Chains A and B, each alone.
Chain A
Amino acid sequence: MSRNSIVFGFGLAVALFSGWVLFPRALYVNQHQPIEFRHKIHAEKSGITDCAQCHVFRDDGEFAGLPSNDTCAGCHSDRIGTSPAEAKLVESYIKPGHEVPWLVYSRQPANVWFSHSIHVKRAGLNCTDCHGNLGESDQMHLYQVNRISGYSRDIWGHSMSRLGRVPGDGMKMGDCEDCHRRHGVEVGCLGCHQ
C-alpha cells in the first residue's frame, strides 16, 4: 500500500509541477516594446503630470489611446537627450514618419467596445483604476502574448490562479463585470460588445 501511495504521490507531484511551472512558460511568448519607453522619466523630466496630456481625448469624445508620432514629435522632433531609446524613436520612427508599433498591454479584441469617455468623463474613473500604476512605472514590463488566444498576458493577469490581482493586472470580461456589479451598473452584452 505504501508503495502505491508513493507512486501516486509522485504522479501527483509531476502533474502539479508541470501544470503550475512549465505550462505558463510554454503558453506565453515574450515580446519587447519597440522602444524602451519610461513613463517615470517623462513625468520627472518634462513635468507631465496628467495622463491626458499625451493620451488625449479627441473632440468627438473618442479616446485617442496611445499618442501618435506628432504628439511625441512635440518634444522629440529632434534628439533632445542622449538615450539610445530616444535616438531610435527619432531616427527610425519620427523622421521617416512611421508610427511606433507599441505593444498594448490592455488591447481588447475587435468584438469589444469600450468607451473611455463614458468611464472617465461620466463615471469619473481614474486611469489607475484599470491601468494600475503603469503611469508611474520606471520602465515598461515584459509583454507576453498568449500563443493560443493572441491576448496579452495582462488580460488574464500575471498569476495563473488569478488570485491577488491588483488594478491593471487582469482585464477579462469577468473583471469588467465585477466592477459593474459593484457599482450597480447594468449593461447588456452589446453594452460592451460590438
Chain B
Amino acid sequence: MKVTRRDLFVWGAGAAAGLVFTPVPWKLLDDVSIWTQNWPWIPQPPRGPVEVKQSFCSLCPQGCALKVKTAGGWPVGIAGTSTNPLTRGALCPLAFGAHQLNWHPQRVRTVRHNGVPSSWSDARAAFAKACSEGPVVIIDGQPGRAASTVLASFAEKHNGSYRVEMSPETRALMPFESWTGVSAFSLGYDLENAYTIVSFGAPLLDGWGVPGRFTRLWAERAAGRSDPQLRLIQIEDSLSHTASRAWKWVNIRPGSESAMAAGLARALIEEKLVSARGPMPVITISAAASQSGISESALGELARTIVARPPVLAIASNHNPEIAALNVVLGAVGAHGGVVRRSKRTGKYIPAEAQIPNARAVLIDSSVPWDFAPDSNAEIFRFVAWDGGLQKCDWLLPAAGFLEELTDIPNAPTSAVETYAIAPQLSKPQFEIQSAAQFLVSVDPTLPTVEKVIHSRCEELFHQRAGTVYGQEVTGVAKFDSAQKLEAELEKASTWVGDPPPPGELRCELREWPPTMIAESSQNWASTWNAPVLPPLATKLYRESSLREAPGRRTV
C-alpha cells in the first residue's frame, strides 16, 4: 500500500497527541529549569564540617585578633574576636576579605630568579655565596616578632646589619626617640585618657592604629555629640573620612601641617595658655596663619580651644618633629593621656633607608610593605606572598600568605600597654613556601627557630609573673603554674597584656625648636598594610561605591 502525504499528517497528529500524555515534555521542562539552577560552570562553596577558630592578622603591624570560620580546612569567613581587649572585635575593612588573598592571581607560587622560575636550593646557595662575599642587609617590617629575632641574630653573626622599615605611626614617634632616648617601638599614645586629640592629617578613623581601639573609643565618647567627652580636632587639607567625622575640621593649605603646629605652639606660649616648656618656635603667628591659609584670630581661637579640655595630645600622620615638639609644649610627653612609654624591653632599631650602599645582598622580609624599594646595586632577596610588580628584585621568594604560618604578634605601634600573642596557622600552604626566618635557619642551622624563640618568650613572660592573659576567660599570669600552660593558652590565640607602666616614666626637654620637615601625606586602610594586593572584594567594592578610589596598582 502507498503512504500518502495525508497519512504523514495524520501520523504526526497522532504522535503529537500521544507525546502530551508521556513524561517527555513535562520532565524535560522540569529538568531543564533545574539545570539552570545548578549550572555546572558556576562555582559552589566547599562542603565539609564548619569550625570556628581563633588567630591574628599579620598583614600589617597592628595584628588584630581574628575569629576565623573554616570549612573543609579552608578559611571561609573572617570576623573580629570580641573578647580581645585591644581590638575589641573590630577589624579594618580589608581583613574581611583577607582569606581570599591566598588565591589571588598575583600570588607568588614559585621561587623566581630575575623573573625565571628557580628553586629554593638555588636561592639558598646564592644567598650563602653572597654572605661569604660581603655584608648583607636584612630588612624587617614588623620588629619584635620571633622571626625578627632570627633575622637580627643572623645579621649579627654574619657581619650584616638588621634594619627596620617603620610604619607611619612609628615614624610619627621617632622625634621622641631622638629626644628621650627611648625607642619609638616602646612608645605609645594614652588615647583612653586624652580629652582632646589634635590630629594633623593622621587618618585616626581611616587606617590609623588598631581600629578596635580608636574607632570604638571615638564612637563611644564622641560620635554625634555636640559636646563630646573626647574632642577630635582634625587639621587637614581635605575633607577626609576622619575630618568629616571629627568634632572640628580645620581646613588648611596642603603641606602646612608643620607651620600650623609651630604657629599653635607659639600662640600657646605667647598667650600663656601653657606653662612654657622649651624654646619658642621661630615662625611668627602671622606667618603660620598665612602659610596654612587661616586667619590669625582663627589660629589663636584654635589654640584656646585646644587647651580648653586637657589632657591634650597632638598626633602626626608621619615623621614630623614640629608636631612632636607641640606635644612637648603641651606637656603631653610622659603625661596621663599623652605620649607614654609602654615597656623597657625593645631596643632601638636602625631605620631602613631606601639608599643602601656597599652591601653585597639585601634580604627583605615579607613583613616589609611592597612600596619599600631598596635603591641599591646589591643582590636583592625579597620574600613576598604577592607580586606587586614594578619592583627590581633578583630573587622573588614565595612567603606565607594569610594565616599560612605560625607567627607571634608583638606590640601594636601606638599601643599604650605591652602585649604579646601567638597566631596559629589555619590555612594549609598550597605551594612550597618559606618565611625569611625559615630560610635563614636553613642557611645557618645554628640559629634558633621561630618556634624556639616563641617558646623562650613564653618562659620569659611566665617568669616575670606580670600581666594578664585574655582568652575565653581572663587570667593573671601569676595564676599559671607552668610556662607550658601559659604557652598552651597563648597558642589558643589568647593575648597577654602587660601591666600599664607607672606614669612619669618619660622625660623630655627640647633644647631648640626642631627644623621644619615636609610632612608626608596621610594614608588609609588601602595603603597601610604590607600586602601589595587588596582582597579582590575590596577592589570591587571600592570601585562600585563612592567611598574612595581603589588604589590602581592593587587590582584583582
Q: Which of A4-12, A40-48, A88-96, A126-134 contacts B (4 or more CB under 8 A)?
A: A4-12
Q: Which residues of A contact B45 (CB under 8 A)?
A: 110
* B44-90 CB contacts (< 8 Å) to partner A: 44-45, 49-50
Asked, given contacts A10-B11, A58-B49, whether A15 binds B38 with beta carbons under 8 Å apart, the answer is no
Structural contact, B34 and A151, CB atoms closer than 8 A: yes
Q: In the bound complex, what is the Cα–Cα distance between A58 and B17 (angstroms)? A: 54
- In the complex, how many residue pairs between chain A and chain B have their CB atoms under 8 Å apart? 89
Q: Which residues of A are found within 8 Å of B21, using beta-carbon distances?
A: 15-16, 19
Q: How far is the CA of A11 from the CA of B44 in the complex (A)?
A: 45
- B10 touching A4 by the CB < 8 A rule? yes
- Which residues of B (7-30) have their CB < 8 Å from a CB of A? 7, 10-19, 21-24, 27-28
Q: Are A19 and B23 in touch, CB under 8 angstroms?
A: yes
Give the distance in Å from the alpha carbon of A109 to the alpha carbon of B34 in the complex: 10
Do the beta carbons of B37 and A111 come within 8 Å of each other? yes
CA distance A78 to B18 in the complex (A): 58
Tell me the count of chain B residues lying within 8 A, CB to CB, of chain A. Answer: 29
Q: By the criterion CB–CB under 8 Å, are A161 and B23 in contact?
A: yes
Q: Is the CB of B37 within 8 A of A15?
A: no
Give complex CA distance A23, B19 in Å.
11
Instruction: Write the nearest CB–CB distance from B463 to chain A, whole angstroms.
Output: 37
Q: Are A14 and B18 in contact (CB under 8 A)?
A: yes
Q: For chain A, what secondary structure do more than half of its interface residues adopt (helix, strand, loop), or is it mixed?
A: helix
Knowing A9-B14, A11-B13, A12-B17, the reply to whether A160 touches B38 (Cβ < 8 A) is: no
Among A69-77, A79-87, A114-122, A142-150, the one that faces the other chain is A142-150
Contact partner of A10 among B14, B34, B49, CB < 8 A? B14
B115 CB within 8 Å of chain A = no
Q: With an 8 A cutoff between CB atoms, is B126 at the interface?
A: no
How far, in Å, is A49 (CB) from chain B's closest CB?
A: 26
CB-defined interface of A150-173 with B at 8 Å, one 1/0 digit per residue?
110000100011000000000000
Residues B18 and A148 in contact, CB atoms below 8 Å apart: no
Our pick among A8, A23, A58, A148 for the contact of B34 (Cβ within 8 Å) is: A148
Chain A min CB distance to B540 (Å) = 22
Residue of B at shortest CB range from A65? B47
Pairwise interchain contact A109-B11, C-beta atoms closer than 8 A:
no
User: Residue of A at shortest CB range from B22?
Assistant: A19
Tell me if B40 is interfacial: C-beta within 8 Å of chain A: yes
Q: Judging by beta carbons under 8 Å apart, are B22 and A23 in contact?
A: yes
Asked whether, in the complex, the Cβ of A110 is within 8 Å of the Cβ of B24, the reply is no
Closest to A148 in B: B31
CB closest chain-A residue, reference B36 = A149
Residues of B within 8 A of A (CB): 6-7, 10-19, 21-24, 27-28, 31-32, 34-35, 37-38, 40, 44-45, 49-50
Can you list 18 residue pairs at the A/B interface with Cβ under 8 Å? A7-B10, A7-B11, A8-B13, A11-B11, A11-B14, A11-B16, A11-B18, A12-B14, A15-B16, A18-B22, A19-B19, A20-B23, A27-B31, A62-B50, A110-B45, A111-B37, A148-B32, A160-B23
> Besides the contacts A15-B17, A19-B22, A109-B34, what 13 more A-B pairs have beta carbons closer than 8 Å?
A8-B11, A10-B11, A11-B14, A12-B14, A14-B15, A16-B21, A19-B18, A19-B21, A23-B24, A110-B44, A111-B38, A148-B28, A149-B31
